Amino acid sequence: MRWWSDCTASWREKWASLRDERNYLREKLSSTQKSLDDATEIIETLKLEKQQLLEDFYPSNNQLHKYNSISTMKSTINPICSMKQETSQSGITESNADQDMCGM
pLDDT confidence bin for 55, thresholds 50/70/90? confident
Whether 104 has a pLDDT exceeding 50, the answer reads no
pTM for this entry: 0.47
User: What value does the mean pLDDT take over residues 68-78?
Assistant: 63
CB atoms < 10 A from the CB of 99, how many?
Answer: 15
- Cβ proximity of 85 and 104 under 8 Å: yes
pLDDT grade for 65, boundaries at 50, 70 and 90: low
pLDDT at 60: 67
Digit-coded pLDDT (tens) for 4-51 = 899 999 999 999 999 999 999 999 999 999 999 999 999 999 999 999
Give, in order, the Cα–Cα distances in Å from 34 to each of 21, 26, 31, 46: 20, 12, 5, 18
From CA 33, how far away is CA 78, in angstroms rounded?
66
**Which pairs with CB-CB distance under 8 Å and at least 24 residues apart come from 76-81?**
77/101, 77/102
36 φ, ψ to 5°?
-65, -45
